[in-house]
């Protein structure tokens, strides 16, 4: 199940970079750096998939049965790794960057 849109995560900080500790201090993102990102966009998407995450909204009786069937089907397959669930509840993900251009770099504040 993939998200149906584009969610831009906010990079909180760099946790580790194997090549140089200076890159961690200056928040430069290179290949294989481990960063911590904000989980809010993913949480909004994940909560929109299950009925516990829905707030308000009124659906007609004919649409309600279809929604309940859809949610029941999603709940059967909605499993999360325990380590990922702990990070999800804490509000941060540890994330490894996968970039193909090591000469291009970003900072945690945005593009440079």
Torsion sign, CA atoms 75, 11, 110, 99: negative
Q: Is residue 6 part of a domain?
A: no
Residue 105 lies in a domain: no
Residue 25 falls inside a structural domain? no
Instruction: Confirm whether 80 is domain-assigned.
Output: yes
The total of structural domains in the chain comes to 1
Query: How many angstroms from the chain centroid is the CA of residue 15?
Result: 17
Angle between helices 40-49 and 82-90 (to 10 degrees): 120
Query: In which element (H, E) is residue 74 found?
Result: helix 61-77
Domain with 56, as residue range(s), is 31-98
**Residue 22 belongs to some domain of the structure:** no
Domain assignment present for residue 15? The answer is no
Determine, yes or no, domain membership for 12: no
For the chain (112 residues), the mean pLDDT of every run of 10, in chain order, is 59 75 74 77 71 51 73 76 77 64 49 43
pTM of the model: 0.47
Look-up: residue for tokens 């140089």?
A: 20
């Amino acid at each position: 199940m993939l998200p149906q849109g584009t969610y831009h995560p906010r990079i909180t900080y760099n946790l580790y970079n194997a090549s140089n500790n200076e890159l961690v201090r200056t928040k430069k993102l290179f290949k294989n750096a481990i960063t911590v990102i904000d989980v809010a966009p993913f949480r909004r998407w994940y909560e929109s998939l299950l009925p516990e995450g829905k707030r308000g909204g009124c659906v007609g009786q004919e649409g309600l049965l279809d929604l309940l069937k859809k949610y029941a089907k999603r709940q059967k397959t909605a499993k999360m790794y325990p380590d990922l669930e702990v990070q999800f509840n804490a509000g941060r993900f540890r994330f490894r960057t996968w970039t193909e251009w090591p000469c291009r770099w970003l900072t945690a504040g945005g593009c440079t």
